[in-house]
Structure 1
Amino acid sequence: MNKSSRPDNPPYYVSSRMQYLRDNFIHPPFDYEHELLEAIRFGDEHRAMEMLHRINELEAAVLATYPLRSKKNALIASCTLFTRAIIKGGVDPEVAFHLSDTVILEIEKIGDVERLIHFEYEMLVQFVAMIRSEKAELPYSHIVNLAIRYIREHIFEELTLQKIADVLKVHPSYLSDRFKRETGSPLTTFINQRKIEESKHLLIHTNQSISEIAFTFKFCNQSYYTQLFKNFTGMTPRKFRISGAERG
């Protein structure tokens, strides 16, 4: 785009950023957020509370015109991050997303900012409690447990037997045989099943197209994703989305 074709007014992001700078506002340091999420991931309630309190001592971003809506939006964003943290920590995605949905519905019911401030800490306790109750050691050998945790933590990446074996520093054939013997499922089937399970949440709770969801989970194309989804669930992603909307 040449200079003459550029718009006279700066984009919304630029003007918003300028306003934030004029108001001396900055978002909480990334390392604060990272430490908070790691504390949740490992079920360290004391450390998580400490980091949340430290973050809340800073000035909050304005995420909507009205303070109540702004605080609700902030808590919903935090809920999303907390959900991802406990999934990385070992909680089954369906369990984690169910907790997330329940918490968000509760956030929407609250009618004053002061109650939302207290609820944020209650929400944190719920997620830490979930990770503590669900993070029991998987009933498999150490190497299979490590493989399952790696799959959960890298579910949006392209996952192969060779890649996971390289990360765990074992021979692919050894990992494949051990995984199938202990879990009853081939490793590749387990990966696809986990991806399909997590994709259900996007189908129901987002407006992403089916092709975009297939791309998000690194399936080679929409047709392959649809075929796998039907194999595991008995229906196509489109029908699942419609049935989820009807239930909602």
Structure 2
Amino acid sequence: MQSIYKKIEYTMAKNRYASYIHPPYELESKLVHSIQQLDTDTATTILKKINSLERAELSKQPLTSLKYSIIGSCTIFTRAVIEAGLDTETAFILSDHYINLIDAASNINALQELEYIMLNDFINVSKRYKQYFYNPLINRVIEYIKKNIENPLTLQEISSLVDVHPNYLSAAFKKEVGKTLSEYISEVKISAIQLYLNNTNLSITEISHIFNFSHITYFSRFFKKHMGVTPKDYRKQILISKVSL
């Protein structure tokens, strides 16, 4: 354990000798705040200010060092949007996407540009889902619904999870979101079913089973009630639109 303290002291002395000091935490805090406020212009300005300072040497290889640094930025952006209310699954999917892009990058200039594209995408995704930025109780309920949408969900189950009375949760959810909990669950379920119909070769029966419908007839009725067409006809429309592109 003592060696890590020696390493810190050595690196601190080395950095001061080379006139290198990490960017002030105040700048990082301002960057996080601007991301959470969905203020792209201010966030970009602050990031440029941070990047005008010398980056830490995280590897002897300049490209690798830059990759490590920008992965650090990705982590900061991810935590910022989660703390602002973006559901963790969406935030981590975006984070994983950019970490893979950073890892695959082979050009320093392109990598530097990627950091700003990444910043914009984190803010834009947050803007798209900003209607889900509610109080902590409702955000927790929404996150649980999204993660468990394939399963039957009830008011009683969810209220027990968040330790509030069902009547209180029902009223609070309607007030915050503008729709009942049941309506919201149905919307999320329909969106998830559409993803399966659009992006997989699973049969409609298989998709019905994934979402725990007791019979494909009930599944088709549920889908048609919300989409105006059966799952079979919906998939046909998707195939036709893809062919015409």
Provide the rounded CA distance (Å) in 2 between the counterparts of 1:19 and 1:137. Answer: 47
Provide the rounded CA distance (Å) in 2 between the counterparts of 1:112 and 1:51. Answer: 23
Q: Is 1:96 aligned with 2:91?
A: yes
Provide the rounded CA distance (Å) in 1 between the counterparts of 2:61 and 2:29. Answer: 28
Where structure 1 has 5 or more consecutive residues not aligned to the other structure, the ranges are: 1-6, 139-143, 153-172, 186-248
Relative to structure 1, the CA distance from residue 63 to residue 43 in structure 2 (aligned partners, 3 Å threshold; closer, same or farther) is same
Provide the rounded CA distance (Å) in 1 between the counterparts of 2:3 and 2:78. Answer: 41
Is the CA contact 2:85–2:132 (under 8 Å) kept in the aligned structure 1? no
AA at the equivalent of 1:76 = I
**Match among 26, 31, 51 for residue 31 of structure 1:** 26
Provide the rounded CA distance (Å) in 2 between the counterparts of 1:151 and 1:62. Answer: 42
Aligned CA RMSD, in angstroms, stands at 3.1
**Match among 174, 179, 188 for residue 169 of structure 2:** 179
Is the CA contact 1:39–1:48 (under 8 Å) kept in the aligned structure 2? yes
Provide the rounded CA distance (Å) in 1 between the counterparts of 2:86 and 2:114. Answer: 22
Q: Identify the residue that residue 112 of structure 1 maps to in structure 2.
A: 107
Is the CA contact 1:40–1:82 (under 8 Å) kept in the aligned structure 2? yes
Relative to structure 1, the CA distance from residue 9 to residue 93 in structure 2 (aligned partners, 3 Å threshold; closer, same or farther) is closer
Provide the rounded CA distance (Å) in 2 between the counterparts of 1:106 and 1:8. Answer: 34
Q: CA shift at 1:145, angstroms?
A: 2.8
Relative to structure 1, the CA distance from residue 8 to residue 51 in structure 2 (aligned partners, 3 Å threshold; closer, same or farther) is closer
Q: Identify the residue that residue 242 of structure 1 maps to in structure 2.
A: none
Q: Identify the residue that residue 224 of structure 1 maps to in structure 2.
A: none
Provide the rounded CA distance (Å) in 2 between the counterparts of 1:12 and 1:182. Answer: 52
Provide the rounded CA distance (Å) in 2 between the counterparts of 1:35 and 1:25. Answer: 21
TM-score by length of 2: 0.56
Relative to structure 1, the CA distance from residue 150 to residue 30 in structure 2 (aligned partners, 3 Å threshold; closer, same or farther) is farther
Q: CA shift at 1:179, angstroms?
A: 2.4
Is the CA contact 2:34–2:40 (under 8 Å) kept in the aligned structure 1? yes
Bigger Rg, structure 1 or 2: 2
**What percent of counterpart residues are identical?**
32
Q: CA shift at 1:147, angstroms?
A: 3.6
Is the CA contact 2:86–2:130 (under 8 Å) kept in the aligned structure 1? yes
Q: Is 1:81 aligned with 2:80?
A: no
Relative to structure 1, the CA distance from residue 110 to residue 174 in structure 2 (aligned partners, 3 Å threshold; closer, same or farther) is closer
Is the CA contact 1:41–1:89 (under 8 Å) kept in the aligned structure 2? yes
Q: CA shift at 1:13, angstroms?
A: 1.7
Provide the rounded CA distance (Å) in 2 between the counterparts of 1:49 and 1:38. Answer: 12
Counting only pairs closer than 5 Å after superposition, residues 192-207 of structure 1 correspond to structure 2 as: none
Provide the rounded CA distance (Å) in 2 between the counterparts of 1:8 and 1:145. Answer: 45
